[in-house]
């Protein structure tokens, strides 16, 4: 099998961190509802920590350090499964939220939003939306 076929069709984990300067996108998705919770980035260190700990861990591009989701807020994400795309340069973390929301922004009630995707584009403006299933 050629290297491209092995990458796309094989069973060897060959995450392509080098294609994007050492980081790749990782979408956190609720494993039950399938709602998209957030998008963040991972490097090799963050993926290894996620695999070792069982908790969603990312690479903070603004702080330049590992970031275990929920470390400060208690809103941990337990990994249920990890999906890798065809060319191994994007991940989906299927997660169970330990409590609270995924977003750092609060609703009116001061509870954290379930998802970071709480607005949509309408007529070149934004409007608030309810989380899926609510």
Residues 6+ away with beta carbon under 8 Å from 38: 27, 28, 102, 103, 115, 116, 117
Cβ atoms 78, 96 nearer than 8 A: yes
**What pLDDT, on a 0 to 100 scale, did the predictor assign at position 111?**
73
What is the percent of the chain where pLDDT is above 70? 86
Q: Measured in whole angstroms, how far is the alpha carbon of residue 134 from the centre of its chain?
A: 21
Residues 6+ away with beta carbon under 8 Å from 60: 66, 67
**What pLDDT, on a 0 to 100 scale, did the predictor assign at position 102?**
67
Q: Which residue in 62, 57, 71 sits closest to 28, CA to CA?
A: 57
Reported as a pLDDT band with limits 50, 70 and 90, residue 1 is low
Residues 6+ away with beta carbon under 8 Å from 25: 39, 40, 41, 90, 91
Reported as a pLDDT band with limits 50, 70 and 90, residue 134 is very low
Highest mean pLDDT: which of 5-9, 36-40, 90-94? 90-94
All structural domains of the chain, each given as residue ranges with its CATH number in brackets, are 15-101 (3.10.20.810)
Which pLDDT tens digit goes with each residue over 24-62? 999 999 999 999 999 999 999 999 999 999 999 999 999
Q: Does pTM surpass 0.75?
A: yes
């Amino acid at each position: 099998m050629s290297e491209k076929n092995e990458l796309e069709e094989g069973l060897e984990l060959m995450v392509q961190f080098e294609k994007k300067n050492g980081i790749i996108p990782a979408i956190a998705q609720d494993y039950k509802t399938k709602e998209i919770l957030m998008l963040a980035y991972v490097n090799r260190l963050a993926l290894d920590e996620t695999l070792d700990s069982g908790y969603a861990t990312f690479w903070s591009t603004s702080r330049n350090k590992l970031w275990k989701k929920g470390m400060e807020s208690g809103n941990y994400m337990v990994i249920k499964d990890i999906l890798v795309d065809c060319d191994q340069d994007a991940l989906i973390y299927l997660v169970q939220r330990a409590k609270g929301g995924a977003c750092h922004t609060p609703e009116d009630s001061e509870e954290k939003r379930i998802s970071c995707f709480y607005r949509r584009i309408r007529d070149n403006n934004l409007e608030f939306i309810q989380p899926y299933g609510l």
